[in-house]
Amino acid sequence: MKQLNVGDHRYTLPLFLPDATRGVVRGLSSQQVQEVGIQGVVVNTYHLLERPGTVVLKKLGSVGALMSWRGLIVSDSGGFQLFSLIHKHPKLGKITDEGVVLYSSEKQRRKTLFTPEDSIKTQFAIGADIMICLDDFSPVSGSAKRLQESVERTTAWAKRCKTEFEKQCRKKGLSKRNRPLLFAVIQGHDQPALRQQSAQELIELGFDGFGFGGWPLDSNGDFDYHIARVIADATPNDKPRFALGVGSPANIVKLRLMGYDLFDCVLPTRDARHQRLYVLNQPLNQVNFSGKRPWYQHLYIDRGRYVADPTPVDQYCDCPTCKNYSKAYLHHLFKIQDSLAFQLAITHNLWFYAQLMKKLQQM
């Protein structure tokens, strides 16, 4: 069984990590998240840098202390928000070799710079167990030249991140045994040769794990599983592979079978808020993932047919929601827009993911 070792903690892989973007898995307390069987969360470096900021985080010790979370904490690099902003509003910033430059507004040219070193320093203030190098996100519509540039810049920034990471470890007296882990992100969009080049350069620099950024989509709008396979084949088996931002239960199973170990996604919580719940078609221990029959389906709790349905959301689920409440009650709570609706729906969807991980860990 593949394990993730962080300090004295051992985690059996694969793991699903819901997004606690601003230091909260929306709708649930940290204790509730732990009770549904979730062992780790992903927080967002850029959002936490804005609020509560590094001064507060350093005073409290970590975001884990702030949110009373005792499990694994992964921080992203903070780059994704900045890149999305610049791709949407090119006048608000630009990407240079030094880092990401942001302007205060389209007219005011007061600059702030977010560098690979800033990303690592902020992730130390957050107190993450797994940190992620700032990467240059390959644009989907990028020219061949821009894609090559993004791979080269990603390597250069990963090198600077590693140097800053080692500097911070020395400063804090952290040894190889008790330090956090540092992952690099492989870029190269839908080009197998570029993905392989990116992987090779990052492997040579030496990291604790590898994340895969900028998922290309195929003509059906689904993941490009061919590229996912290329990346899995290009990375070492003894290091965790992080499928960043993935995905639906079906996506996760497919990528797990290729050798991916860590997953994080907004889907289970976002779907729950939009009244979309996951329901098994048979008990999970009887599911054969290679079978032709879909092993789960979506249930839309807002449908009129559930208004007086006394049965639980999922007859095969033992989560606190399904054990105690009916479809009729959940339907009612959404209709009257009570926050308990979110809580019960998110509890069920996260439980579904946690149980799926348990099954995959045994395979």
Instruction: State which residue, 77 or 321, has the beta carbon closest to Zn ion.
Output: 321
> Which pair of structure tokens corresponds to residue 282?
């048979």
Output the smallest distance, CB 345 to Zn ion, in A.
Answer: 9
| 322 near Zn ion, rule: CB under 5 A | yes
Q: Using CB under 5 A as the criterion, what x/- string covers residues 291-320 for binding Zn ion?
A: -----------------------x--x-x-
CA distances (Å), origin 218, targets 223, 226, 228: 6, 9, 12
Q: Which residues of 300-332 are buried (b: 16+ CB within 10 A; e: fewer)?
A: ebeeeebeebeebbbebbebbbbeebbbebbbb
Instruction: State which residue, 254 or 327, has the beta carbon closest to Zn ion.
Output: 327
Output the smallest distance, CB 350 to Zn ion, in A.
Answer: 10
Q: 54, 80 in Cβ contact below 8 A? A: no
**Residue type present at position 24:** V
Output the smallest distance, CB 249 to Zn ion, in A.
Answer: 14
Of the candidate spans 161-169, 176-184, 228-236, 344-352, the one that interacts with Zn ion by CB under 5 A turns out to be 344-352
Instruction: State which residue, 242 or 296, has the beta carbon closest to Zn ion.
Output: 296
| 277 near Zn ion, rule: CB under 5 A | no
Instruction: State which residue, 60 or 279, has the beta carbon closest to Zn ion.
Output: 279
Catalytic positions are 76, 264
Binding to Zn ion in span 42-71, by CB under 5 A: none
Q: 228, 246 in Cβ contact below 8 A? A: no
Among the listed residues 39, 191, 348, 360, the single contact to Zn ion using CB under 5 A: 348
Q: Look at residues 91, 88, 121, 124 and name the one whose alpha carbon lies nearest to residue 105.
A: 91
Number of residues that bind Zn ion (CB under 5 A): 6
| 28 near Zn ion, rule: CB under 5 A | no
**Residue type present at position 153:** R
SS3 category, 78: coil
> Which pair of structure tokens corresponds to residue 346?
């998110």
- Determine the Cα–Cα distance for residues 183 and 169; give it in Å rounded to an integer: 15
Output the smallest distance, CB 313 to Zn ion, in A.
Answer: 5
Output the smallest distance, CB 76 to Zn ion, in A.
Answer: 29
Instruction: State which residue, 77 or 355, has the beta carbon closest to Zn ion.
Output: 355
- Determine the Cα–Cα distance for residues 350 and 132; give it in Å rounded to an integer: 24
Backbone φ and ψ for 139, nearest 5 degrees, come out as -70, 145
- Kindly list the residues in this chain that would bind Zn ion in the complex (CB under 5 A): 314, 317, 319, 321-322, 348
